[in-house]
Amino acid sequence: MSGLISPHGGELVDRTGPPPDDLADLASLTLTARELSDLDMLASGALSPLEGFMARADYESVLDDMRLASGLPWALPVCLAVDSPPQSDRVALADESGRPVAVLEVEDVFDYDKQHEAQAAFRTTDEAHPGVARLYGQKQLYLSGRVTVFERQQPQFPQLALDPAKTRARFAERGWKRVVGFQTRNPIHRAHEYLTKTALETVDGLLIHPLVGETKSDDVPAATRVACYGVLVDNYYPAGRVLVAAFPAAMRYAGPREAIWHAICRKNYGCSHFIVGRDHAGVGDYYGTYDAQLIFDDFEPHELDIEPMFFEHSFFCRVCGSMASAKTCPHPPDDHVHLSGTKVRELLGRGELPPVEFSRPEVAEVLIEAYRS
């Protein structure tokens, strides 16, 4: 017994396996980058209990009730879009270069309503929303069925590639039982360092789990962020209490629903707790500041099993002399070190370090270097 939280649905799914003998005879479908990242997460069990792309009953139930047809909580569709129904009961799935990487056992092909999915998953039908734009641009039918993956995706950062089974093994080796997961797609400055350390004070270990899959083109590039996490952790976290690994998901920008989805995935990686800050997985002003926290109230306390840890915006307060938030500091905003994102980009672009109360100098140096090149 590792003492770690059970995977969602009870068992960690493993959909890896050898290629079939008749692979060369199968019709082949080429997947998008996002579908490939979903496929790889199906293979590793990151999306347990899913064993393949969703069938209609699960898809509709997820959109309408945030549950799989079995009743198990689930927040976002994991679907494969196709132009036409396949002509056989199995198809090969290929990466963008046309190389076959998996086989799908065809279960169903169904029509879907893009606007209905957009409203349910993203809470908007506005095509300016990047998730909605991607949905509106995709093919007209969904193909469902169990997958067997025989060629895993080459990880962008091999040193950070850890499947759920491996992450769980690392936790167990270190004797961690209660582990908090932190999702991020940005460099970690003092504010988020504070959240992770405040959470870590109450558990055994911290998983810094940056999303390195597909993001918007104006997000900080993953390689720069990974370098930032490295210098931050090496200099400011005890090695025995923190693990940095890549979360291979593509960003959906679905805000509240993505917060639930992110939490469920991290449960599969062995996290018992999950940090949800303000506007988690949001984009633009499509979601209210606390929507991604409030949505957890849609579930009974123990249904998700993984425990969300909610945080306010935090800052350095000169009077308190420490990091704080509106929950813990009574002083007015003038006493707080606040820099807008624009201001920070200006400073870094000029090669200037932001105040140490805002960003660790080692992290800022990495960002300045990235701006130079």
Nearest distance in Å: CB 293, Zn ion: 23
User: Closest CB to Zn ion among 120 and 317?
Assistant: 317
User: Closest CB to Zn ion among 317 and 366?
Assistant: 317
Question: What single letter denotes the amino acid at residue 60?
Answer: E
Among the listed residues 297, 280, 299, 298, the one whose alpha carbon sits nearest the alpha carbon of residue 289? 280
**Which residues, numbered 123-182, are part of the site for Zn ion (CB under 5 A)?**
none
Nearest distance in Å: CB 195, Zn ion: 17
Q: Can residue 319 be called a binding residue for Zn ion (CB under 5 A)? A: yes
Tokens at 108, concatenated: 């169903």
Compute the distance between CA of residue 137 and CA of residue 106 in angstroms, rounded to an integer. Answer: 23
User: Closest CB to Zn ion among 41 and 329?
Assistant: 329
User: Closest CB to Zn ion among 162 and 317?
Assistant: 317
CB contact at 8 A, 126 and 72: no
Nearest distance in Å: CB 323, Zn ion: 10
Binding residue for Zn ion (CB under 5 A) from 216, 331, 338, 343? 331
CA angle 142, 145, 146 (to 5 degrees): 145
Binding residue for Zn ion (CB under 5 A) from 79, 191, 317, 363? 317
Nearest distance in Å: CB 330, Zn ion: 6
Catalytic residue among 15, 123, 168, 185: 185
Among the listed residues 89, 68, 90, 88, the one whose alpha carbon sits nearest the alpha carbon of residue 9? 68
User: Closest CB to Zn ion among 63 and 317?
Assistant: 317
Q: Can residue 323 be called a binding residue for Zn ion (CB under 5 A)? A: no
Whether 186 is catalytic? yes
Nearest distance in Å: CB 331, Zn ion: 4
**Which of 15-23, 32-40, 57-65, 315-323 is the region at the interface with Zn ion (rule: CB under 5 A)?**
315-323
Nearest distance in Å: CB 321, Zn ion: 8
Compute the distance between CA of residue 61 and CA of residue 72 in angstroms, rounded to an integer. Answer: 10
**Which of 205-213, 235-243, 310-318, 343-351 is the region at the interface with Zn ion (rule: CB under 5 A)?**
310-318
Nearest distance in Å: CB 297, Zn ion: 30
Catalytic residue among 186, 241, 278, 345: 186
Beta-carbon count within 10 A of 237 CB: 19
CA atoms within 13 A on the CB side of 11: 5
Binding residue for Zn ion (CB under 5 A) from 109, 133, 231, 320? 320
Q: Can residue 116 be called a binding residue for Zn ion (CB under 5 A)? A: no
Compute the distance between CA of residue 207 and CA of residue 259 in angstroms, rounded to an integer. Answer: 16
User: Closest CB to Zn ion among 21 and 334?
Assistant: 334
Cα-flanking dihedrals φ and ψ of residue 133, to 5°?
Answer: -60, -45
User: Closest CB to Zn ion among 140 and 322?
Assistant: 322
**Which of 233-241, 281-289, 330-338, 348-356 is the region at the interface with Zn ion (rule: CB under 5 A)?**
330-338
Cα-flanking dihedrals φ and ψ of residue 178, to 5°?
Answer: -105, 115
Judged by CB under 5 A, how many residues of this single chain contact Zn ion? 5
Positive or negative, the CA dihedral 324, 277, 36, 286 is negative
Among the listed residues 198, 210, 197, 194, the one whose alpha carbon sits nearest the alpha carbon of residue 244? 210
Strands 100-111 and 141-149, by their bridges, are antiparallel
* Bridge partners (DSSP) listed for residue 136: none
Beta-carbon count within 10 A of 238 CB: 9
Cα-flanking dihedrals φ and ψ of residue 345, to 5°?
Answer: -65, -40
Nearest distance in Å: CB 320, Zn ion: 3
User: Closest CB to Zn ion among 180 and 329?
Assistant: 329
Please name the residue that has the structure tokens 């984009």: 283
Binding residue for Zn ion (CB under 5 A) from 306, 329, 347, 363? 329
CB contact at 8 A, 256 and 292: yes
Whether 268 is catalytic? no
Compute the distance between CA of residue 21 and CA of residue 121 in angstroms, rounded to an integer. Answer: 39
The residues of the shown chain that bind Zn ion, judged by CB under 5 A, are: 317, 319-320, 329, 331
Active site residues: 185-186
